A and B are shown apart, each in its own frame.
Chain A
Amino acid sequence: MIYQGRAHKYGRDVDTDVIIPARYLTTSDPDQLAGHCLEDLDPGFVSRVKLGDVLIAEENFGCGSSREHAPIAIKGAGVSCVIAKSFARIFYRNAINMGLPIYECPEAVNGIDAGDDVRVDTEKGEITNLTRGVVFKITPFPPFVREIIESGGLINYVRAKLKVEG
Chain B
Amino acid sequence: MGMTITEKILASHAGENVVKPGDLINIRLDLILANDVTAPIAIEKFREIGIERVFDKNKIALVPDHYAPNKDIESARQCKVMRDFAREQGITNYFEVGRMGIEHALLPEQGLVLSGDAVIGADSHTCTYGALGAFSTGVGSTDVAAAMATGEIWLRVPSTIKFVYNGRLNEWVGGKDLILYTIGKIGVDGALYKAMEFCGEAIRHLSMDGRFAMCNMAIEAGAKNGIIEPDGVTLEYAKARAKRDFDVYKDDEDAVYDEVHEFDVADIESQVACPHLPSNTRGISEVGDIPLDQVVVGSCTNGRLEDLRVVAEILKGKKVHSSLRLIVIPATQEIYNLAIKEGFIEIFVEAGAVVSTPTCGPCLGGHMGVLAEGERALATTNRNFKGRMGHPESEVYLCGPAVAAASAVLGRIASPEEIVGSG
A binds B: yes
Q: Which residues of A contact B (CB under 8 A)?
A: 13, 15, 17-18, 21-23, 25-28, 40-41, 59-60, 63-69, 72, 86, 88-90, 93-94, 97-98, 142, 144-145, 153-155, 157-159, 161-162, 164-166
Chosen A-B contacts, 26 in total, with CB atoms closer than 8 Å, are A13-B189, A17-B386, A18-B387, A22-B366, A25-B66, A26-B77, A40-B386, A60-B188, A60-B192, A64-B383, A66-B123, A69-B41, A72-B41, A90-B138, A93-B139, A94-B140, A97-B142, A144-B24, A145-B24, A154-B142, A155-B145, A157-B146, A158-B146, A159-B50, A161-B150, A164-B51
Q: Which of A21, A41, A86, A162 contacts B365 (CB 8 A)?
A: A21
**Nearest Cβ distance between residue A84 and chain B, in whole angstroms?**
11
Say whether, besides A40-B392, A66-B124, A89 and B224 are in contact (CB < 8 Å).
Answer: yes
The answer to whether B49 and A162 have CB atoms under 8 Å apart is yes
Known contacts A13-B277, A17-B386, A60-B222; A68/B188 CB under 8 A: no
Chain A residues in 8 Å Cβ range of B12: none
Instruction: Sort chain B's interface into a size bin.
Output: 35 or more
Is B75's CB under 8 angstroms from A17's CB?
A: no
| 6 tightest Cβ-Cβ pairs between the two chains A and B | A26-B74, A94-B140, A97-B142, A22-B364, A60-B189, A40-B392
> Is A89 touching B193 in the complex (CB atoms < 8 A)?
yes
Best-buried of A28, A90, A153 by chain B (most CB within 10 Å) = A90
Known A26-B67, A26-B72, A90-B124; contact A13-B142, beta-carbon cutoff 8 A: no
Nearest-Cβ distance from residue B135 to partner chain A, whole angstroms? 14
Contacts of A155 in B (CB 8 A): 45, 48-49, 142, 145-146
Complex alpha-carbon distance, A63 and B139, angstroms? 12
Contact with A along B126-157 (1 / 0, CB 8 A): 10000000000011111101100110001000
The yes or no answer to B299 lying at the interface (CB within 8 A) is no
Closest to A99 in B: B142
Q: What is B's interface to A at a CB cutoff of 8 Å?
A: 24, 37-38, 40-41, 44-45, 48-51, 66-67, 72, 74-75, 77-78, 121-124, 126, 138-143, 145-146, 149-150, 154, 188-189, 192-193, 219, 222, 224, 277, 364-366, 370, 383, 385-388, 390, 392
Measured CB to CB, the closest approach of chain B to A58, in angstroms, equals 10
Please give the distance in Å from B212's CB to the nearest CB on chain A.
18
Chain B contacts of A142 at CB under 8 A? 24
Please indicate the chain A residues that have their CB under 8 angstroms from the CB of B387 in the complex: 17-18, 21, 40
In the assembled complex, the CB of A28 is this many whole angstroms from the nearest CB of chain B, namely: 5
Bound complex: CA of A159 vs CA of B49, how far in Å? Answer: 5
Which residue of B24, B44, B50, B139 is within 8 Å of A166 (Cβ)? Answer: B50
- Known A17-B385, A155-B45; contact A93-B140, beta-carbon cutoff 8 A: yes
The closest CB in chain B to the CB of A88 belongs to B222
CA distance in complex: A86, B194 (Å):
14
> What residue of chain B has the Cβ atom nearest to residue A43's Cβ?
B392
Q: Please state if A158 and B149 are interface contacts (CB–CB under 8 Å).
A: yes
Contact between B67 and A59, CB atoms less than 8 A apart = no
Q: Select from chain A the residue with minimum beta-carbon distance to B123.
A: A66
Alpha-carbon separation in the docked complex, A97 to B146 (Å): 10
Closest to A32 in B: B74
Report the nearest A residue to B40, measured CB to CB. Answer: A28
- Kindly identify which residue among B142, B150, B188 contacts A162, using a CB–CB cutoff of 8 Å: B150
Q: How far is the CA of A85 from the CA of B385 in the complex (A)?
A: 20
A157: B residues at CB distance < 8 A: 146
A residues within 8 A CB of B142?
68, 94, 97-98, 153-155
Which residue of the partner chain, among B66, B146, B188, B392, contacts A154 with CB atoms under 8 Å? Answer: B146
**Contacting pair A23 B365 (CB below 8 A):** yes
A13 to B278 alpha-carbon distance, docked (Å): 11
In angstroms, Cα B157 to Cα A30, docked, is 32
Residue of A nearest to B383 (CB): A64
CB-contact partner of A68 in B38, B390, B392, under 8 A: B38
In contact, A26 and B75 (Cβ under 8 angstroms) = yes
List A contacts of B38 (CB < 8 A).
66-68
Q: Give complex CA distance A161, B149 in Å.
A: 11
Pick the contact of A18: B124, B126, B386 (CB < 8 A).
Answer: B386
CB <8 Å contact, A65 and B364: yes
Interface centre among A72, A89, A93, A98 (most CB of B within 10 A): A89
Cβ-closest chain A residue relative to B360: A22
Measured in the bound complex, the distance between the Cα atoms of B75 and A68 in whole Å is: 17
Closest B-chain residue to A98, C-beta based? B142
Assembly CA distance A40 to B366 (angstroms) = 16
Q: Which residues of B contact A68 (CB under 8 A)?
A: 38, 41, 122, 140-142
Q: Which of A26, A27, A157 has the most CB of B within 10 A?
A: A26
Residues on the A chain within 8 Å of B140, using CB: 66-68, 90, 93-94, 97-98
Contact B154 A144 (CB under 8 A): yes
- Rounded to whole Å, the gap between the CB of B29 and the closest CB of chain A is 14
Closest CB in chain A relative to B19 CB, distance in Å: 15
CA distance A18 to B276 in the complex (A): 11
Nearest Cβ on chain A to B270's Cβ, whole angstroms: 24
Complex contact B122–A22 (CB within 8 A): no
B118 shortest CB reach to chain A, Å:
16
CB neighbours (8 Å) of B192 from chain A are 60, 86, 88-89
